[in-house]
Each structure stands twice: as C-alpha cells, then as structure tokens.
Amino acid sequence: MALFIRKRTPLYSTGAVSTQPGEKQKARIHTFSYNDQFLQESDGSLVKADEDTITWIDVIGIQDDELIQELGRLYELHPLTIQDIMQSGKRPHHESYEQYVSLRMNMITREENRGEYISEHVTFILAENTLITVQQQEGDLFEGVRKRIREHAGRVRRSGADYLLYALSNAIFLHAVALVEQLGEEIERNDGLLTTHGSEEMIQALDKARGTINYLSSQIRPNRDALRELMRTESEHISASVQVYLRDLYDTATQTGEALESYRTMVKDQNDTLAARTASRLNEVMKFLTIFSAIFIPLSLLAGIYGTNFSIIPTLSSPYGFYLFLFSLFVIAGVMILIFKRKKWL
C-alpha cells in the first residue's frame, strides 16, 4: 500500500506523515549508548553499536529515503524490512532474520482536545546489542523509558537490547490499556444518560462508543498477534528471561482485547435498553391515542345522528334538547373513562 497523506477525521486518524507532493521530510535521529556504568546521548547521525554498550537508535520520519537506505546498508537490513519501514498501511507483524528480528506495531494515542485517536506504526529492529526504532512522526510514548535510562532507574540499563524492546512495547500496550479504561468509563457514564438524555443524544453516544471499540480492536488485536509471533520465535537475539516478560505482556494484550469485547457487550445491552424504552414510550403514546379515539367513537355517532336532516328527532323541539344532548355526551364519556380505569388501561 502506498504512502498516503495524513487526514484528520472527527474520531480517528491513521497518523501518516503529512507532506506535499515532491516534498521530502528530513528524518531526526536520536541515539542512546549505555550500559550499567556508562550513558551517552547524541543527535543527528547513525552509529554502529559497540560490543560493550547497548545502542538505541531512534529514527523519527519515514519520508527520508536516503537515510532509510543508509540505515539498511549499515545494519544489512533485508529489502522487505526497508519496505515495511517506509510503508504506513501494512498490518503489524514480525519477521526473523539471521542478523536481526523485526517487529512492527501500531502506536495509538489520543488528542484530548479533539477526542481524536491517532495511530502510527513503529518498526523495531533488534540486532546484537542494538535496537532500532523507526517512527512516522514526532511525539511518542517512550519518554518514560528514556527517563529510566537517563536516571538509571529500573532494569533497562542493566539489561540487553531485547529488554529495551520489551520496555518500549510495554509502553505501547500500557497506553492502549489506559485508552480502553477511559473508553470503559465513558460507556459506564452512558448508563446514567439513558434516563436523563433524549434518544438522539444516546444514539450518538452509543454510535461513537461502538465505533471506538471497533477502531481500538482493529489496532490492538494485530499488535497482540505480532507479539505472539515474536514469542514463538527461537532467536538468539531474545533471551529466555525476556521471553517471560513478553508472555506477561501478551497476557496484558489478551486481557485488553477481552475488556473491549466486554465493553462491546455493554454497548449492545445499552442499545437494547434504549430501544426497549423507546418502544415503551411509543406504546404509551399509542395507548393514550387509542383510548382517546375510543371515547369519541360513541360521541361522534350521536353527533352524526343528530346532525341528520330528519324532522322528527327526540328532544329536537325541546328548549332543553341541546343541553340534554351535551349532558348525554359527558355521561357516556365519563362512563367509558371509569371502565378504562377499572380495567387499568388508564
């Protein structure tokens, strides 16, 4: 699938890089080289990893063809890997080669001001003592990992590049979990709206929730499948200790998918409840109109009889005839109302 121009939509976005035809965006490179006792950060150039340090090369921007090709030559990347990096519409997946393993995932974020979900793909390339990440655009979920590296917090500085891959993947999944939990709170608030808001507002809220569930599922499920492929790979680049963390991360991804299915059921139940209440209100209106019409049937019959042109009609010549006629109408209407109430139709 060819690269496409990013389009902002009311709810979802692909997160593809926006460029004008013929325009080439310059990629940005940020590099961490570290071990338990050493840390160096640099910007602007590709470097080859040392044997004594772990190197994280973070490339932001996939429009810079020359840099991506240079990256491929430096680390002997397969042409299909380079193609995966530069294409934004492919499904998350995993590939294993002799020199490295690659993992492509969707990174989902949300712009709170506009309520818009944005997805961009991130490619991880794990080689010996090296992790390369290639992102589409500025802004990611990895700042917490960068902070742990700078402050020597957690296990990152004491572990290999495979643990760094786990830490970054974990950041993506944990943020997805937070988005799903936020969606769940919104869906639970819809229960209160069922009784306080009109049908049109509830229909819009349920449609939005249903669309969000479908979108998040379409982004999270492929990530989980790609992670499962990575777990099943017997590669020297991923240690047994990191496999344990990956299994735990896979469990988190599975639970997130189950939560989305649970929320999908909740939205369906809310929709059924809304439909039942709407039908109940409609039945009440129809019952009232039916009773109203039934009361006027005998009254209309009498009015029709007395509206004929016959000259001999009871009480027609009486000075009290009109009042007797009105009295009869009220008595008949009152009796019918009493009957309806005794039958609990009113």
What pLDDT was estimated at residue 195?
Answer: 67
Q: Tokens standing for 190?
A: 């819809």
CA 334 to chain centre: 58
Task: Give, for 278, the enclosing helix (H) or strand (E).
Answer: helix 240-306
pLDDT tens figures, 191-220? 777 766 667 778 888 888 999 999 999 999
Question: Are the C-beta atoms of residues 12 and 116 closer than 8 Å to each other?
Answer: yes
CA 11 to chain centre: 9
Name the E strands within the chain: 12-13, 28-34, 39-43, 54-60, 94-96, 101-111, 116-127, 130-135
pTM of the model: 0.76
Domains, the chain, with CATH or none: 12-276 (3.30.460.20), 287-342 (1.20.58.340)
Given a cut of 50, the residues of the chain with pLDDT beneath it are 1-23
Q: Tokens standing for 253?
A: 């991804």
- DSSP H helices, 197-239, are 199-232
What pLDDT was estimated at residue 1?
Answer: 27
Question: Are the C-beta atoms of residues 7 and 13 closer than 8 Å to each other?
Answer: yes
Distance CA 241, CA 319 (A): 108
